[in-house]
């Protein structure tokens, strides 16, 4: 985690506490070194910025890594629904592929 970058992001958040991109960037910064802290920010986004499509994939992947596959499944499904509503077919496709893999529905050869 880059300490200067995280400090700058918190300054941005102070200026605009409701900015979805800043919350997403903070979650991303915490992702490797403090997954639980990252999850807090992803969950804040999922609750307060439901239409911020980029959150769903990364939050669901983190849930998977933390062994919370049932929550990951729900997050992928909700993300697919929102991305379809938003007309973001690229995000929908990525979410669907990840969901299929989680559910054992991917038929690619290993």
Q: 93: domain CATH number? A: 1.25.40.10
How many Cβ atoms sit within 10 Å of the Cβ of residue 48? 11
Range(s) of the domain holding residue 84: 3-102
Q: Is residue 14 part of a domain?
A: yes
Instruction: Single out the residue of 45, 51, 53, 46 nearest to residue 22, CA to CA.
Output: 45
Q: What is the pTM of this model?
A: 0.89
> What pLDDT is recorded for position 109?
54
Q: Does the residue 55 lie in any domain?
A: yes
Q: Which residue has the tokens 């995280």?
A: 6
Per residue in 34-56, pLDDT tens? 999 999 999 999 999 999 999 99
Alpha carbons 26 and 17: distance in angstroms, whole number? 12
3-state secondary structure at position 64: helix
* Interatomic CA distance for residues 110 and 108, integer angstroms: 6
Provide the token pair at 52. 């911020």
pLDDT one-digit tens code per residue, 55-104: 999 999 999 999 999 999 999 999 999 999 999 999 999 999 999 999 99
55, 91 contact by CB (below 8 A): no
Q: Kindly state whether residue 49 falls inside one of the protein's structural domains.
A: yes
């Amino acid at each position: 985690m880059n300490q200067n970058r995280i400090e700058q992001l918190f300054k941005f958040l102070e200026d605009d506490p409701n900015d979805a991109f800043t919350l997403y960037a903070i979650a991303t910064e915490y992702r490797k070194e403090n997954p639980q802290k990252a999850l807090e920010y992803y969950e804040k986004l999922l609750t307060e910025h439901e239409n911020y499509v980029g959150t769903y994939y990364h939050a669901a992947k983190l849930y998977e890594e933390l062994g919370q596959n049932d929550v990951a499944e729900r997050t992928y499904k909700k993300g697919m629904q929102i991305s379809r509503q938003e007309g973001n077919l690229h995000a929908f496709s990525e979410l669907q592929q990840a969901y299929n893999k989680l559910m054992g529905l991917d038929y690619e050869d290993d």
